[in-house]
Chain A
Amino acid sequence: MQEKIITSLMNQLDLDRDAITMESRFVEDFSMDSLDMVEMLINLEKETGIKVPVEEVGDIHTVGELIKHLEGKQQ
């Protein structure tokens, strides 16, 4: 799960692997806006099969929090 999310972010944001940590913040570190977040969720659904409505990520700010959220939905 973790690698899928990181690979997806690398492709979408054209980032190196080293630039993405569990503490990376979507808005502050990657300058992502609301549409970038929607695109990220579309890509993640394709990769993992897990659908996450955009309303669910309002309180998710970091890569680590997103992974935890997706792992929770997977179970």
Chain B
Amino acid sequence: MLAPVSITGIGKCVPEKVVTNDDLAQIVETSDEWISKRTGIRSRHVAVEETATGLAICAAKDALAMSGELPENVGVIVACTITGDDLSPSLASRVQRALEIPVCAAMDVSAGCTGFVYALVTAASLMDTLNKDVAIVVASEIMTKYCDWTDRATCVLFGDGAGAVVLKRSEVAHLLHPILSATPDVDDVIVVKKENRDTPFTGPAESPRESIRMKGADVFTYAAAVMETTLTELRECCGDQPYNKVVPHQANEKIIDFAVRTMKLSRDNFFVDIANYANTSSASIPIALCDALESGWLNAGDRVAIVGFGSGLTSGGAVIDWTIQNKKENK
């Protein structure tokens, strides 16, 4: 079961360097028109000195500051990443140390681009199981380190960044209707292989550097299907109080447009910021939630559906009754 929680803080952190489509045209044979027409992407943030750990800490700090919670109140940290800096300790443990949280449960989850939804549900579940009142959920990715920068079909699609939220136990549940799912990726539709390492007992390691490999048509077919089924299921769960806004995983604008048409919703109901970030994998939903709040699009009282899909093949969604007032509304 999920503990009854509300989101009381949110933060994001992205690398300083912005790489435009025109910049990429200097590296691979492509153009702003080609990329933006097919994906909706215009630019992305790319880590130079930044790390997945550093971005996660920065986003989590901002979220905790907004929530007003003291570090010693945090009982659970769940982080998600597929591009973490260390195999061990976990990203969550790194965040715990940096935020000087004395004692808490700390762990990472891995569910590809659906990671944030999985982490959010896991954190709320752990708050119930462990009887904790405050949790940090943080997603951080340095996708550009895993791009094949000679492959124009994939390197233009990804960016780096982190987003975080603070969950606080509340009298009424504001995180509702969790859906987590996965179907076997029998065709290796999305794969990022780990670097091979040799030992005295193996032959020399092959392919020392592996990159993101993706079958675009298959990904689109899967994503379109799970966006529709997840949003439909969430709509049914909501009954006569349907969600009025959707913050989807930002992988490709065409996938979002497909969902808009299929769900017979207005494009205005969907928050889309892929133009500025590209696909930041598990970080895309919390970054989008943060931008949605900062821009004034999202406000207290909104019922927002989040929906993600990614390697695995995983998918997930949930409904959030949003409680944080945006600053634009306060002015």
Contacts and interface: CB of A to CB of B under 8 A. Distances in A.
Interface of A: 11-12, 31, 33-36, 38-39, 42, 54
A38 B217 CA distance: 6
Most A C-beta atoms less than 10 A away, residue of B37, B220, B261: B220
Nearest to B215: A54
A62 to B, nearest CB: 20
21 contacts: A11-B261, A12-B261, A31-B37, A33-B38, A34-B217, A35-B216, A35-B217, A35-B220, A35-B254, A36-B254, A38-B220, A38-B221, A38-B224, A39-B220, A39-B224, A39-B254, A39-B258, A42-B221, A42-B225, A42-B258, A54-B217
B81 interface: no
A30 to B, nearest CB: 13
B84 to A, nearest CB: 30
A35 B261 contact: no
A12 B262 CA distance: 10
B37 A35 contact: no
Given A33-B37, A34-B217, A42-B258, 10 more contacts: A31-B37, A33-B38, A35-B216, A35-B252, A36-B254, A38-B221, A39-B254, A39-B258, A42-B221, A42-B224
Contacts of B225: 42
Interface string B192-230: 000000000000000000000000110011001100000
Contacts of B254: 35-36, 39
B274 to A, nearest CB: 14
A11 B225 CA distance: 18
Contacts of B261: 11-12
Nearest to B38: A33
A22 B258 CA distance: 25
Contacts of B258: 39, 42
User: What are the 9 closest A-B residue pairs judged by CB atoms, nearest first?
Assistant: A54-B217, A38-B220, A38-B217, A35-B254, A35-B220, A33-B38, A39-B258, A42-B224, A38-B221
Contacts of B38: 33, 35
Contacts of A42: 221, 224-225, 258
A3 to B, nearest CB: 19
Nearest to A46: B262
A35 B214 CA distance: 14
